[in-house]
Structure formats: structure tokens, C-alpha cells
């Protein structure tokens, strides 16, 4: 997972951590795999302010501990959203 350097939180000066959560569950495909969208968002570890959430396209059966199925571009977009805040 790409962790590029982030700017400090504009509110408290804390650091941001990437949060990855299931956003929406759309059911199962014909093979029984889950169809879901994931939400990636950088959250300040001190005051809990949040960057803009990035929602992925459909993903099929991602493991709860393995995010290799999420394209790298979504991680980059989440970090960019945090770094570009004013």
C-alpha cells in the first residue's frame, strides 16, 4: 500500500492515517462472491478531521485484511485529497 508523506492536519497539526472501509454492499455475483464498494479516507489521528472520501468502483470479494484488490490509484487519490486541503 502506498503511503506518501502527508501534510500536517490544518486544524491541530496531527498526522493523517489512511482508513479503508466497506462503503456499500451490492449483493453477490453468480459465483457467490461479494460485490462491494470501498471507501478510502485519510483521518487525522489527533482531532479526527477527515479528508475527502474516495469511493472505489465495484470490487469482488476483497479480504478484510488484504487490500491488494483495490487499485493503487485509489490510495493515491485519498492521499492527494488530504494533501491538497487548505
- In the prediction, which pLDDT does 82 show? 92
- CA pair distance 73, 85, nearest whole angstrom: 19
Q: What is the pLDDT of residue 67?
A: 63
Residues 6+ apart with CB under 8 A from 53: 23, 39, 40, 41, 78
pLDDT tens sequence for the chain (86 residues)? 556 657 898 899 999 999 999 888 888 888 777 888 899 999 999 999 999 999 998 777 666 555 667 888 999 999 999 988 76
Q: Which pLDDT score is estimated for 34?
A: 83
Amino acid at each position: 500500500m502506498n503511503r506518501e508523506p502527508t501534510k500536517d492536519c490544518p486544524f491541530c497539526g496531527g498526522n493523517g492515517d489512511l482508513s479503508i472501509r466497506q462503503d456499500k454492499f451490492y449483493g453477490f455475483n453468480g459465483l457467490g462472491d461479494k460485490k462491494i464498494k470501498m471507501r478510502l479516507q485519510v483521518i487525522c489521528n489527533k482531532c479526527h478531521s477527515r479528508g475527502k472520501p474516495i469511493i472505489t468502483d465495484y470490487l469482488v470479494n476483497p479480504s478484510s485484511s488484504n487490500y491488494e484488490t483495490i487499485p493503487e490509484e485509489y490510495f493515491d487519490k485519498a492521499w492527494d485529497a488530504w494533501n491538497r486541503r487548505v
